[in-house]
């Protein structure tokens, strides 16, 4: 069962796509991610890339993010995101935007700048460094990128304006935090 952990939608239950479509972030990992960004979240523009159920972006909105963008290329995941947004009262709002698109195409075509990006690609499909370089162009100064990966996956220690800040391992999951060095 997926649920919102904190904020104004605390304890709200969410739907999840089939496990062959998505691998939802576990509550323990979600809580760790939001502990990392808690002081950066208020009024932030949040990107939930490979959104699956949309739980990370919805959690961000519940905790005070100004806007959240949800991107997934799977149509059934998009339907679940829209249902979850509707059940939380975020659908048809000026602060929740849903895109059925590949991460690569979305990043090439979007003109928005983000403060926080959460990236959780399927573990078998690497989010390539070229996509990180494209994401760098879409991030504000002092922004944060958080990647959830398999604990064995290797990601660069830095790219473009981002440097490796912290690494967390939770069983088979790794959380990598990058910080923008631009002021």
Given this model, what pLDDT does residue 57 score? 97
Given this model, what pLDDT does residue 183 score? 63
State the pTM of this model. 0.93
Over residues 47-53, the mean pLDDT reads 95
Of 40, 39, 60, nearest to 48 (Cα)?
60
Rg (CA), the chain: 15
Check residues 167 and 122 and name the one with the higher pLDDT.
167
Confidence band (pLDDT; 50, 70, 90) for 94?
Answer: confident
Residue 13 burial (CB < 10 Å; 0-12/13-18/19+)?
exposed
Given this model, what pLDDT does residue 22 score? 66
Residue-range domains of the chain with CATH:
30-180 (3.40.50.150)
SS3 141: strand
Given this model, what pLDDT does residue 74 score? 92
pLDDT tens figures, 57-79: 999 999 999 999 999 999 999 99
At residue 51, does pLDDT exceed 60?
Answer: yes
């Amino acid at each position: 069962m997926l649920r919102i952990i904190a904020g104004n939608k605390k304890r709200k239950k969410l739907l999840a796509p089939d496990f062959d479509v998505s691998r939802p972030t576990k509550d323990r990992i979600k809580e760790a991610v939001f502990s990392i960004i808690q002081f950066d979240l208020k009024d932030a523009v949040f990107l939930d890339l490979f959104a699956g159920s949309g739980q990370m972006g919805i959690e961000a909105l519940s905790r005070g993010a100004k806007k959240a963008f949800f991107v997934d290329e799977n149509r059934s995941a998009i339907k679940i995101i829209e249902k979850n947004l509707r059940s939380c009262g975020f659908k048809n709002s000026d602060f929740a935007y849903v895109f059925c698109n590949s991460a690569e195409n979305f990043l090439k075509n979007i003109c928005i700048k983000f403060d926080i990006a959460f990236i959780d690609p399927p573990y078998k499909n690497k989010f390539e460094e070229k996509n990180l370089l494209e994401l760098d162009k879409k991030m504000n100064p002092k922004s944060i990128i958080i990647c959830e990966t398999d604990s064995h996956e290797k990601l660069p220690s830095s790219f473009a304006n981002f440097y490796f800040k912290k690494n967390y391992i939770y069983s088979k999951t790794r959380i990598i935090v990058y910080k923008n060095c631009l002021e």
